[in-house]
Homo-oligomer: A and B are copies of this chain.
Amino acid sequence: MAQTTEALTAERILAATEDVLRRHGPAKATVVDVARALGVSHGSVYRHFRTKAALREAVTERWLDRTSEALSGIVADEDRDPESRLRAWCAALFAAKRHKAGEDPQLFATYMVLIGEVSAVVDRHIADLTGQLTTIIENGVERGVFASAAPAVTARALFDATGRFHDPCYAREWEQPGIEAEFEAVVDLLLRGLRA
Protein backbone atom coordinates (compact mmCIF):
# COMPACT_ATOMS: atom_id res chain seq x y z
CA MET A 1 0.00 0.00 0.00
CA ALA A 2 2.82 2.41 0.90
CA GLN A 3 4.08 2.33 -2.65
CA THR A 4 0.72 3.17 -4.28
CA THR A 5 -0.06 5.84 -1.68
CA GLU A 6 3.24 7.58 -2.25
CA ALA A 7 2.61 7.71 -5.99
CA LEU A 8 -1.00 8.82 -5.55
CA THR A 9 -0.96 12.16 -7.37
CA ALA A 10 -4.03 14.20 -8.27
CA GLU A 11 -3.32 13.38 -11.92
CA ARG A 12 -3.39 9.63 -11.24
CA ILE A 13 -6.68 9.98 -9.41
CA LEU A 14 -8.16 12.01 -12.25
CA ALA A 15 -7.02 9.51 -14.87
CA ALA A 16 -8.61 6.71 -12.85
CA THR A 17 -11.77 8.78 -12.38
CA GLU A 18 -12.07 9.19 -16.13
CA ASP A 19 -11.73 5.42 -16.58
CA VAL A 20 -14.38 4.78 -13.94
CA LEU A 21 -16.70 7.34 -15.52
CA ARG A 22 -16.17 5.70 -18.92
CA ARG A 23 -17.06 2.28 -17.52
CA HIS A 24 -19.85 3.12 -15.08
CA GLY A 25 -21.35 6.34 -16.49
CA PRO A 26 -21.82 9.56 -14.54
CA ALA A 27 -24.77 8.38 -12.45
CA LYS A 28 -23.09 5.30 -10.99
CA ALA A 29 -19.41 6.25 -10.68
CA THR A 30 -18.43 6.65 -7.02
CA VAL A 31 -15.31 7.63 -5.10
CA VAL A 32 -15.14 4.04 -3.84
CA ASP A 33 -14.93 2.82 -7.46
CA VAL A 34 -12.07 5.23 -8.10
CA ALA A 35 -10.22 4.14 -4.96
CA ARG A 36 -10.70 0.47 -5.86
CA ALA A 37 -9.34 1.06 -9.37
CA LEU A 38 -6.22 2.60 -7.83
CA GLY A 39 -5.88 0.00 -5.08
CA VAL A 40 -6.10 2.63 -2.33
CA SER A 41 -8.60 3.49 0.39
CA HIS A 42 -11.29 6.04 -0.43
CA GLY A 43 -9.80 8.16 2.36
CA SER A 44 -6.64 8.54 0.24
CA VAL A 45 -8.73 9.88 -2.61
CA TYR A 46 -10.52 12.30 -0.29
CA ARG A 47 -7.15 13.67 0.85
CA HIS A 48 -6.73 15.03 -2.70
CA PHE A 49 -10.37 15.85 -3.45
CA ARG A 50 -12.43 16.68 -0.41
CA THR A 51 -15.80 15.83 -1.91
CA LYS A 52 -17.17 13.75 -4.76
CA ALA A 53 -18.34 17.02 -6.33
CA ALA A 54 -14.79 18.44 -6.21
CA LEU A 55 -13.51 15.31 -7.93
CA ARG A 56 -16.13 15.53 -10.66
CA GLU A 57 -15.35 19.20 -11.15
CA ALA A 58 -11.59 18.55 -11.39
CA VAL A 59 -11.96 15.73 -13.90
CA THR A 60 -14.23 17.87 -16.08
CA GLU A 61 -11.79 20.77 -15.93
CA ARG A 62 -8.94 18.45 -16.93
CA TRP A 63 -10.97 17.24 -19.91
CA LEU A 64 -11.76 20.79 -21.05
CA ASP A 65 -8.21 22.01 -20.43
CA ARG A 66 -6.84 19.41 -22.84
CA THR A 67 -8.61 21.35 -25.59
CA SER A 68 -7.40 24.82 -24.59
CA GLU A 69 -3.84 23.54 -24.15
CA ALA A 70 -3.88 22.02 -27.62
CA LEU A 71 -4.89 25.42 -29.05
CA SER A 72 -2.41 27.54 -27.12
CA GLY A 73 0.40 26.65 -29.54
CA ILE A 74 -1.49 28.30 -32.39
CA VAL A 75 -1.98 31.47 -30.35
CA ALA A 76 1.71 31.66 -29.49
CA ASP A 77 2.93 31.12 -33.07
CA GLU A 78 3.57 34.80 -33.83
CA ASP A 79 5.53 34.02 -36.98
CA ARG A 80 2.23 33.13 -38.57
CA ASP A 81 -0.03 35.97 -39.69
CA PRO A 82 -3.05 36.65 -37.46
CA GLU A 83 -5.68 35.74 -40.05
CA SER A 84 -4.14 32.35 -40.71
CA ARG A 85 -3.75 31.78 -36.95
CA LEU A 86 -7.39 32.69 -36.35
CA ARG A 87 -8.56 30.34 -39.07
CA ALA A 88 -6.33 27.54 -37.78
CA TRP A 89 -7.53 28.13 -34.22
CA CYS A 90 -11.22 27.81 -35.22
CA ALA A 91 -10.47 24.69 -37.28
CA ALA A 92 -8.45 23.14 -34.44
CA LEU A 93 -11.23 23.80 -31.92
CA PHE A 94 -13.78 22.20 -34.24
CA ALA A 95 -11.45 19.23 -34.86
CA ALA A 96 -10.72 18.76 -31.14
CA LYS A 97 -14.39 18.78 -30.16
CA ARG A 98 -15.37 16.57 -33.06
CA HIS A 99 -12.62 14.15 -32.18
CA LYS A 100 -13.77 13.98 -28.57
CA ALA A 101 -17.37 13.38 -29.61
CA GLY A 102 -16.58 10.82 -32.31
CA GLU A 103 -13.69 8.90 -30.76
CA ASP A 104 -15.34 7.95 -27.50
CA PRO A 105 -19.07 8.81 -27.60
CA GLN A 106 -19.79 7.25 -24.21
CA LEU A 107 -17.15 9.33 -22.44
CA PHE A 108 -18.34 12.40 -24.33
CA ALA A 109 -21.92 11.80 -23.19
CA THR A 110 -20.63 11.37 -19.65
CA TYR A 111 -18.81 14.69 -19.75
CA MET A 112 -21.94 16.34 -21.16
CA VAL A 113 -23.73 15.31 -17.96
CA LEU A 114 -20.87 16.59 -15.79
CA ILE A 115 -20.75 19.87 -17.70
CA GLY A 116 -24.38 20.46 -16.78
CA GLU A 117 -23.36 20.20 -13.11
CA VAL A 118 -20.29 22.45 -13.08
CA SER A 119 -21.18 25.70 -14.80
CA ALA A 120 -18.30 27.60 -13.15
CA VAL A 121 -15.80 25.22 -14.80
CA VAL A 122 -17.48 25.72 -18.17
CA ASP A 123 -17.40 29.50 -17.70
CA ARG A 124 -13.65 29.32 -16.98
CA HIS A 125 -13.15 27.19 -20.10
CA ILE A 126 -15.02 29.71 -22.26
CA ALA A 127 -12.97 32.50 -20.68
CA ASP A 128 -9.75 30.59 -21.53
CA LEU A 129 -10.81 30.12 -25.14
CA THR A 130 -12.07 33.66 -25.70
CA GLY A 131 -8.88 34.89 -24.00
CA GLN A 132 -6.85 33.04 -26.63
CA LEU A 133 -8.98 34.57 -29.39
CA THR A 134 -8.51 38.02 -27.85
CA THR A 135 -4.73 37.60 -28.01
CA ILE A 136 -4.85 36.74 -31.73
CA ILE A 137 -7.21 39.65 -32.47
CA GLU A 138 -5.10 42.15 -30.51
CA ASN A 139 -2.08 40.95 -32.41
CA GLY A 140 -3.92 41.50 -35.70
CA VAL A 141 -5.01 44.98 -34.64
CA GLU A 142 -1.42 45.87 -33.71
CA ARG A 143 -0.24 44.74 -37.12
CA GLY A 144 -3.01 46.70 -38.82
CA VAL A 145 -4.67 43.68 -40.44
CA PHE A 146 -7.74 43.45 -38.15
CA ALA A 147 -10.17 46.18 -37.12
CA SER A 148 -11.66 45.87 -33.66
CA ALA A 149 -12.42 48.62 -31.16
CA ALA A 150 -12.84 46.02 -28.39
CA PRO A 151 -10.91 42.79 -29.05
CA ALA A 152 -12.43 40.96 -26.08
CA VAL A 153 -15.96 41.72 -27.34
CA THR A 154 -15.00 40.69 -30.87
CA ALA A 155 -13.44 37.49 -29.48
CA ARG A 156 -16.66 36.59 -27.73
CA ALA A 157 -18.63 37.36 -30.91
CA LEU A 158 -16.33 35.06 -32.91
CA PHE A 159 -16.70 32.35 -30.30
CA ASP A 160 -20.50 32.67 -30.28
CA ALA A 161 -20.75 32.84 -34.07
CA THR A 162 -18.81 29.58 -34.48
CA GLY A 163 -20.82 27.76 -31.79
CA ARG A 164 -22.27 25.29 -34.27
CA PHE A 165 -18.73 23.99 -34.75
CA HIS A 166 -17.69 23.60 -31.15
CA ASP A 167 -20.72 23.60 -28.88
CA PRO A 168 -21.54 20.03 -27.78
CA CYS A 169 -25.26 20.63 -28.37
CA TYR A 170 -24.43 20.33 -32.10
CA ALA A 171 -22.30 17.18 -31.77
CA ARG A 172 -24.79 15.13 -33.79
CA GLU A 173 -24.35 17.45 -36.78
CA TRP A 174 -20.54 17.24 -36.86
CA GLU A 175 -20.40 14.17 -39.06
CA GLN A 176 -23.06 15.34 -41.52
CA PRO A 177 -22.04 15.87 -45.14
CA GLY A 178 -21.52 19.53 -45.92
CA ILE A 179 -20.52 20.52 -42.39
CA GLU A 180 -16.96 21.40 -43.47
CA ALA A 181 -18.23 23.73 -46.19
CA GLU A 182 -20.65 25.33 -43.73
CA PHE A 183 -17.78 25.84 -41.30
CA GLU A 184 -15.66 27.48 -44.01
CA ALA A 185 -18.55 29.78 -45.02
CA VAL A 186 -19.02 31.00 -41.44
CA VAL A 187 -15.28 31.56 -40.86
CA ASP A 188 -14.89 33.33 -44.23
CA LEU A 189 -17.71 35.72 -43.39
CA LEU A 190 -16.32 36.42 -39.91
CA LEU A 191 -12.79 37.02 -41.21
CA ARG A 192 -14.15 39.43 -43.83
CA GLY A 193 -15.85 41.26 -40.97
CA LEU A 194 -12.66 41.40 -38.98
CA ARG A 195 -10.32 42.73 -41.66
CA ALA A 196 -9.09 46.30 -41.37
Identify the A interface with B (CB < 8 A): 153-154, 156-158, 160-164, 167, 169-170, 181-182, 185-186, 188-194
Contact = CB atoms under 8 A, between A and B. Distances in A.
Chain A, interface SS category:
helix
A4 B43 CA distance: 71
Given A161-B164, A192-B194, 7 more contacts: A154-B185, A157-B188, A160-B186, A161-B161, A188-B193, A189-B194, A193-B194
B182 A161 contact: no
Nearest to A187: B157
A194 B195 CA distance: 12
Oligomer copy total = 2
A141 to B, nearest CB: 14
A161 to B, nearest CB: 4
Contact of A157 (B158, B169, B186): B186
A167 to B, nearest CB: 8
A189 B156 contact: no
A191 B194 CA distance: 10
Contact of A156 (B160, B162, B182, B190): B182
